Amino acid sequence: MDKAALRRKLIDQRLNLPDRLLRADALQQVMRFWLVERPDTVIGAYWPIKGEFDPLPALHRWKEDGELQGTPQRRKIGLPVIDKQRKTLSFHAWHPGCPMEEDAFGIPKPKDTELLTPTLLFVPCVGYGAGGYRLGYGGGFYDRTLAQINPRPFTVGLGYAEGFVDDFEPENHDQPLDAILNDNGEVWPVAGLSLR
Ligand SMILES: Nc1nc2c(c(=O)[nH]1)N(C=O)[C@@H](CNc1ccc(C(=O)N[C@@H](CCC(=O)O)C(=O)O)cc1)CN2
Ligand SMILES: Nc1ncnc2c1ncn2[C@@H]1O[C@H](COP(=O)(O)OP(=O)(O)OP(=O)(O)O)[C@@H](O)[C@H]1O
C-alpha cells in the first residue's frame, strides 16, 4: 500500500473507532502516569483534528498539578504555529480560552501568545511503527522541525493502538520519536530492547 492510501485507511479507521471515548480515557491516564517521572515545565502538544487523540485535558491537569508541588512550579503548554516560509513549527503558549485563530489548514492556533521552547513534545501520529517511526499527514512539518531544532526536545508520539503499522518502512528524512504512548501504555521503547 502506498503512503497516501495507508494514511487514508488509518484516518478513516480512527474516525470510526467504536470505543474511542474509552480509549481516549485510557490514553489520558497513560499520559498522566508517564508525565509524573518527567522534569519538564514546558510541553508542546497539538490541537486535535481528524479524530486525533486530544492531549489537552491531561496536559491542563499536568499544568494544574504543577501549582500543587512542594515548591509550586509554573508549567506551560504550547501549540504548533506553522512557519510558512520554512515549513517548520514553533510552539506558542496556550491555556483554555486563550485567543485563537485558524492556521492555513484550518487548525486553531494561539493568537499572538508567547513563543515557548518545549523540552518535551507530544507528536500526533496517523500511524507508527517499530523503532519509533511515525506517519503524519504528509506535510513533513515535524520531520523538518526536528531536523533543525536545537536543543532537540524529547519527542513522544501519541496514537491509538489501531495506528500501529506492522511493516512500516521509514524514509531517510523520517525522524524517529524517543517514545510512543498508546491506549495500552508505553509501546516504544520496547522494554529490554536497546537499539540506541
Ligand atoms: N492536530 C495537529 N496539528 C498540527 C499537525 C498535526 O499533525 N496535527 N501538524 C503536523 O504536521 C501541522 C499541520 N500539518 C498538516 C498537514 C497536512 C494537513 C492536511 O489536511 N493535508 C491534506 C492533504 C494531505 C495529502 O497531501 O495527502 C489532507 O489531509 O486532506 C493537515 C495538517 C501543525 N499542526
Ligand atoms: N528535514 C527535511 N528537510 C526538507 N524536507 C523534508 C525534511 N523532512 C521531510 N521533508 C519533506 O516533507 C515531505 C513529507 O514527509 P512525510 O511524508 O514523512 O511527512 P509526515 O511525517 O507524514 O508529515 P508531518 O510531519 O507533517 O506530520 C517529504 O516530501 C519530505 O521530502
How many CB atoms are closer than 10 A to CB 175? Answer: 19
Structural domain includes residue 61: yes
Please say if the pLDDT value at position 91 is more than 90.
yes
Name the pTM for this structure: 0.95
Whether the ipTM is more than 0.90: the answer is yes
Task: Decide if 108 is inside a domain.
Answer: yes
196 lies in some domain: no
Pocket of ligand 2 (CB under 6 A): 135-144, 147, 173-174
Tally of domains within the chain = 1
The parent domain of residue 93 ranges over 3-188
* Distance in angstroms (rounded) separating the CA atoms of residues 101 and 135: 26
Atom 25 of ligand 1 has which residue's CA nearest to it? 138
The tens digit of pLDDT for each residue in 110-134 reads 999 999 999 999 999 999 999 999 9
C-alpha–C-alpha distance, residues 85 and 19, integer Å: 40
**CATH number for the domain including 119?**
3.40.50.10420
pLDDT confidence bin for 195, thresholds 50/70/90: low
Instruction: Tell how far the Cα of 37 is from the centroid of ligand 1, in angstroms.
Output: 30
* CA nearest neighbour of 81 among 64, 101, 65, 61: 101
Whole-number Cα distances in Å, 113 to 5, 51, 80, 92, 97: 37, 26, 12, 6, 12
